[in-house]
Each structure stands twice: as structure tokens, then as C-alpha cells.
Structure 1
Amino acid sequence: MKVLLLGGTTEARRLASMIDGEADVVTSLAGRTTEPLRPAGEVRVGGFGGVDGLARYLRDARIDAVVDATHPFAATISGNAAVACGASGVPLLILRRPGWTAVPGDEWHRVASLPEAAGRLPRLGRRVFLTTGRQGIAHFAALDDCWFLARSVEPPTGTVPRHLEVLLGRGPFTVAAERDLITRHRVDVLVTKDSGGSDAKLVAARELGIPVLMVNRPAAPDATTVSTADAALSWLRTLDR
């Protein structure tokens, strides 16, 4: 059995390790970071060339199943995978970590997009902890009255806010470290995307009474969906009987 794993997440790397040795796995990475954490098995880097290119790859590489374990905000490749798999008759599974849910003590303001977040931000605070990834920073470039601490794996490129400090880092982070970071930089609002996974920064914001501007996830394709690598492996095993 040969599996194409659309990766780039912790869940994808865990699943690749679980599959490796039991089936042939090819993990596809988008190539947006120069030093990605490499999973077990074969790795390919870069896009497929849209729906037609992905469908052609599925055929030429004789792929038996696709697991979409990309970031919850990787809407383009997820949509392309759904269409290409449907056209090719290749089974598709979506592996998505659960989103975050507010609990008592949270002050969350949900928005549908990064541009909407930028529009609402000045009403919530002026010293901003921005954790939307380097590609999202440009949406806040016009906010000259705000100061930003932006954390990303690699430095941002293109247009950035006038008052910006960049902190390079790759999680997971502890609650204590996040609380110290927010306090030390006098942050008064956190901006993030509903990615799920480790929520240390959200716990720290709750403890410090900091409002959170939360960007909602895009809708996922209509396909079988699981939330853990173990469940994804069970699904693959049912196909290989």
C-alpha cells in the first residue's frame, strides 16, 4: 500500500512514523520553511501544480490513499486534494487536530479572516503579540499606532508593520514562558489563528486577563475526518485488508 501524506504538522510527522515500515509513505511538504522537521519515510517538497497536477501525481505514483494532515489553514491544498481524490477515485482522509474552545475567564473575539482581525485590532489593544505565522504579518502593516511582537519559525518577508519586533521560535512553548513573554513586553492583546494543538499562549492570556483576537478556521472539505494519528492509522488499515 502506498500512502500520500500531505504534511507539515505534528500529527503528520507522528502518523508518518507509525506508517513507516507498515506501508510506503510519501510525505509532501509545502516548502515554506527552509529547515522543516523531516518525517519518517520518503519526503517531497513543493506544490503539485493545482488539481490536475495532483491528480496526475496520484496516478503516476500509484497512490492508494491520501491523508490530508496539513495545517487547518492550508485551505488551497486541502481543497485541491478533495477534488483530485474524487476525480481519481483515491480514498481521502482528513486528519485535523481539534480547534480551541473558550473556557470561563477567556475574552475571545472571533473573526473570519486576517484582514478583519487587522480592522478590529486597534479597539482591543496597542501592544500586540502576533502569532499568525510570517505570511500573515503583512495584513497588519498599515497599523502604525500599534507595536507588534511577531513570533514565527522564519523571518517575515515583504511588507511589515512599522513598529515590529520579530521573535524566531518553534513550539511547543510552556505556559510559564508565554506568561513571562507577555508580561515582559507589556502585551495587551494576543492575535492568533484557531490552529488547535498546544494552547500555552491562550492559558497565559487567560491568566493575565489579556483579550484574544481569534481568526476562525476556513471550512474543511466534505470528507471523512479524524482528529488523531491513531485514528488515521486505523482508517488506513481498513483499506489494506
Structure 2
Amino acid sequence: MFDVGQGAAGDGRRACQGIAGAAVSHRLLFKADAERMRQGAKPWTFVATGTPIREELPVRTDAVWVEACLKAWLPGLRGTGLAVPDRRLRAGPGERTVIELPEGSWWDWDVVAWDPGQLRLGAGHDLSYAHGLELVFSDPAFVTCPAAFQDPVFREPTPDEVRFVARQVGETPPVLVAFEADAGGRHLASGLVAAGRLDIVRGTVFRYWRAELAGGESLAPWVRPPA
């Protein structure tokens, strides 16, 4: 069993626990495949077999995001009479399409880290030495974003943008964030990020080496101790 953590993934964990408690004979698997993630394939897989799983329910579901797996099999499982959690999935389409930033001076932005599992955008009033806010996108599937930009205006994605991203990645993303910002050109630059989850994290992230860190402080991923 793969521990999928919090948010909508936590719904999957609790649902699996509910199925396990009710099933007489069962096999459950909920996992993320790192190799498929690196290859750009659908990394999330859910498999459920045995009583009371009915034959008409999907035995296996593969998807780009964990939320897509949940949406494929949760309704049918509830139809069997199982007490599966009915909490709304986190950051579903139309729920958190417009970011509400906490109070602060978040004028300067850049890409802190980006790999197949996570995109981190850092913000602050001046990024020379530290930043105090991060937008952490888990399982990014489609990203259009300047490497550095200022004063972004986040907005609701247009229907055309939603359809465009869905065609690109094969399904509607759980999280789709759109914005315009000053990237140094004559015109505003557009940003569009599709991901499985979004977390807004506050805390001081230093961009230079510090041997001692207080609570809520950390180092940027490229910072290393002096030789």
C-alpha cells in the first residue's frame, strides 16, 4: 500500500481503509510509479478486486492525477453500500482556479525548483537573499511560466484554456492556475499551470548558506555549505 498523504490523496487512503474493513476477500493497490512519471505517462494506479467489488466496477484505473483515479471508482464503490468518504476533492476544477495569496509583499517571483513531481514558485519583495512564499504544484502535467516575473495577476482560466490543457494531457486537471505578469518584455507574459494539487506555503527560504535555521526557515534547493 502506498501512503498517498493529505488532501484528495488522503481521501483515497481512507476509502481504501473503508473497503478493506468491509470486504470479505479483497486486493487493494493505490500507488504512484516514479518511472512512468519521469516518462510523462500516467503515474497513478488504483486496483480493487474481491467482494464486495462488483464486476461492472473498474478493476484498474490509471491516471495523470490521483484525483482522476478517485473520480473513476469512488461513485461506483458508494453504490455497493460501502461507507466511502464523501468529502469534496481538494482543488477540483472550478474550486481553486483563482489563487488567494496571504497578505504580504509578493512582487518578485521566480521558479525555485521544477521536476516531474513538483513545481515550486517563490515570491517575496526582493529575491536577492530570500523569499517568504511558495506556490507548490504537485504532479505538474502542463506548465507555461516565465523563469522570473513580477507582480502577477492570478485569474480564473478561460473555458478555451481548460479545453486546451485537457486536450494536451488527456483529462481535465484537478488544479489549473492562470495569470499574467511582467516578465521584462513589451507585453505581459501569460502563465498556465496544470497540476494534481496546489499548496501555498509561507516561511523564509534563504538563498545563501546559513548554518543555523530557526523554525519555519529553510534553504533553497541549490544552496550548499561552503567548501
TM-score normalised according to structure 2 size: 0.30
- Structure showing greater relative contact order (alpha-carbon pairs closer than 8 Å, 6 or more residues apart): 1
Comparing both structures, which one devotes a greater share of its residues to helix? Answer: 1
TM-score normalised according to structure 1 size: 0.28
